[in-house]
Amino acid sequence: MEPILPATEARAPPALANHLLEEILVRIHDPTDLARATAMSKTFRRLVTDPNFLRRYRSIHPPILLGFIDHSSVRGFLPVDAPHPNAPAAHGFAGAAEFTYDYIPRSRRWGWAPYDARDGRVLLMICEYNAGLVSPEFAVCGPLTRGYTLLPPIPDDVLASVGAQVPDGEHVGIFNAFFDHLGGNGGDEDAQFRVMCCMPCVSLAAVFVYSSVFDSWTHGTSIVYAALGLNVQLENHLMLCRRHSWAYGCVYWDVGISNKMIKLDINSMAATTFSLPADHENRETNVVDAGEGKIGMLSLSASFYDTLPLRYSIQQNESENASEHLVETTISLPCECDYCFAGSENGYVFLKGLQGGPFVTSAAFSVEIKTLKVERVCVLSSKIGYVVPYFGFPPFMSPRRI
């Protein structure tokens, strides 16, 4: 009789190697789902919170919309509201970040005003509207870390080089500032950045460029309206102070005249005009990258009674006849509002909608360029004012540097 052998204990399956587990976790698209994964086990949390993993994750996945910087709100930031899928991450970010900018020193009596946001950084400016060429103050900060960098003032000799081109009485003391979209890679916290500052005058617009590599300003170019064949009126040239859009390394300004926009190539600093389709002179236009080298144009009616308030056109190639090879789509908006553009970033264009009635309310909407899907993002704190879309990651995933 053969001896009875003891039963073999069931073996536990071998643990998944850390490098394979990391390959699975890094493919989780939604940062909120990744945050939930960290609560499942200590191993998951150790891998996900490793700085090298987070750096790799941010380089693969684009940042998500977390809300709007709104200087008129109490906290200075309006997170995405439910039922938007980014709402949990947005409210977690809002609770940890600081958008009052009280910690940043300034030499003028006015407070810092946000002008742009990119790669988790916020660009701030103070500009007192005095007569003459007065250089504004600039700062770049990180809302999570409270870290900041004070940019040097635009040198007098750089301002003077433009001042010689501006006839007396033409300068209005107003500046616009924004990040150069070519200045960062969108995921690396060590990336350098560039700031563009536009000073519109009655006959020209001067563009100054700051480089964080050299920590200095240079005179990029002067856009002379007459040289472009544009008769920019006094009420139009101030549009260069806020309204601009980006596509393929070029910045576009809609100045509301002659179915044309001003186009500035950031690499060459060459200014030209961009022709719009017919009947766009009375419509606000935002230019976007439509993919495959094609230019997309979202046009917004200025009239509350227009039955087609938002149209999206794709121009197959840039030509003198802007209506050639044009594909146009009408986009349905969710409610009857007076709409205006509120910026564009990371494949989205944002609208600010003002709804009338006994209680006037204002809300922000996003339009995804690939799908033309319209979503309500959040209620805005004021029916007037300037808002800046803010993209980033939940606090534990955000870069710790400016």
Better-predicted residue by pLDDT, 306 or 26 = 26
Question: Residue 231 CB: number of other CB atoms within 10 A?
Answer: 9
Domain that holds residue 172: 101-224
CA distance 341 to 333: 13
- Residue 127: predicted pLDDT: 78
Domain assignment present for residue 176? The answer is yes
In a domain, 80, yes or no: no
152-211 residue pLDDT tens: 999 888 887 776 566 555 555 678 899 998 755 444 445 689 999 998 877 888 899 999
Average pLDDT, the chain: 82
Domain assignment of residue 140, yes or no: yes
Task: Give residue 242's pLDDT.
Answer: 65
Residue 186 is predicted with a pLDDT of 43
Q: Is 68 inside a domain boundary?
A: no
- pLDDT tens digit string along 271-304? 999 988 877 777 888 999 988 888 999 988 765 5
Is the predicted pLDDT of residue 94 greater than 90, yes or no? yes
At 202 the pLDDT is 76
Task: Report the Cα 232 to chain-centroid distance in Å.
Answer: 26
Per residue in 52-79, pLDDT (tens digit) is 999 999 989 989 999 999 877 778 899 9
Evaluate whether residue 328 is within a structural domain.
Answer: no
Q: Is residue 280 one of the residues assigned to a domain?
A: no
Predicted pLDDT at 322:
58
Does residue 37 lie within any of the structural domains? no
* The total number of structural domains that make up the chain: 1
What's the whole-number mean pLDDT along residues 347-376? 84
Has residue 149 got a pLDDT over 70?
yes
Q: How confident is the model at residue 240 (pLDDT cuts 50, 70, 90)?
A: low
**314 in any annotated domain:** no
Task: Name the residue with tokens 């040198």.
Answer: 155
pLDDT band at 42 (very low <50, low <70, confident <90, very high): confident
Residue 172 tokens read as: 């209005």
Note the pLDDT of residue 13.
47
pTM for this predicted structure = 0.86
Residues written for the chain: 402
